[in-house]
Amino acid sequence: MAGDSDTPKRTATATKFWSGVNVEPVEIALNSGVGYTLRAYRMDNEITPADVSMREDDLDLPTRGSAYDDEEDYSDAVDEEFAEADDEEVDAEAAEAEADGEPDEDAEDADDEEDAEEEEDEAEATPVVEPEEVPLFLTKNGHLLLFKSAQGLVDYVKSGDDNDLAQIDTWSKLVADIKVGYVVPLPEDEYELDLIVKNLRGGRDSWDPELIVQSGQVARDLSHALKIPSVISAMSPGSPLDDLDEALRGAVSGGFGGFMARRKLKRIGEQAATLAWRTIIGKIQAVVDWRD
């Protein structure tokens, strides 16, 4: 990892190569080892998401008990229940009128109004979705390919084996020109996920903001690229772990914002953060395919 005396230096030629293909090598340290992979960012309308159908179903992270994730979900569920009750009432009135041999004009009017409202709601509920940038990794069959050596990564890339990253526009150039000496991640692309749980257990005074924030970044990227719903939810905006990241960034920045961030940090449960991160690391390790 960064800081090791035997870590190779990133050359200007290597930086130019990675910039040209718009991809970066990434180094991830887990409890099971340290490995290299590749990551790119592309617009979601330019790529096909990873196929995870051959992977075991993801298990949800522990929650604190509500059947609904938030008030909006609860409200939607209640609205659905009332809508079903209204439909049953209209159907009952129509059936009664039919039994009496009389047309139920009120029911017909209600149906017409309901159809018109449904058409209007459908029109309003179809927002224009703008393309957004999403992460892609060197993945296959719903698993992250991690290579124990730069040579192993380069050999795989040149092997012609199919993978999810092969769909990007610069893949053929990457395959043709990649060299072992180029596989040198930048410091910000080195992730020490093997250290984060131990760091959190040490207490707030010893928390490493850079370690925790960087770990959060790669966890979010991996969860989206590999479709790990529970991790996506755990790291989503407004979640406790997202609040932890924001508070750590604010504490480092200093000033009044830093003062408020430090106060916010004191309200974040150490045990809860440690447990959540330990579970997330386990889920990430479960989708790693180690290669030599």
Q: For residue 279, is pLDDT > 70?
A: yes
Does the structure show a pLDDT above 50 at 26?
Answer: yes
What average pLDDT is seen over the chain? Answer: 80
Query: By mean pLDDT, which of 126-130, 174-178, 209-213, 256-260 is the weakest?
Result: 256-260
Residue 179 has a pLDDT of 97
pLDDT tens digits along 161-177: 999 999 999 999 999 99
3-class DSSP state for residue 192?
A: strand
Res. 246 pLDDT band, cuts 50 70 90: confident
Is the pTM for the entire model greater than 0.75? no
**pLDDT band at residue 72 using 50, 70 and 90 as cut-offs:** very low
Rounded to 5 degrees, φ, ψ at 151 are -60, -40
Q: Residue 67 has what pLDDT?
A: 33
For 33-92, the three-class secondary structure string (H helix, E strand, C coil) is: EEEEEEEEEEECCCCCCCCCCCCCCCCCCCCCCCCCCCHHHHHHHHHHHHHHHHHHHHHH
For the segment 121-164, what is each residue's pLDDT rounded down to a tens digit? 665 666 777 999 999 999 999 999 999 999 999 999 999 999 99
Of the pLDDT bands very low, low, confident and very high (cuts 50, 70, 90), residue 88 is very low
Reported as a pLDDT band with limits 50, 70 and 90, residue 104 is low
Mean pLDDT within 90-110: 53
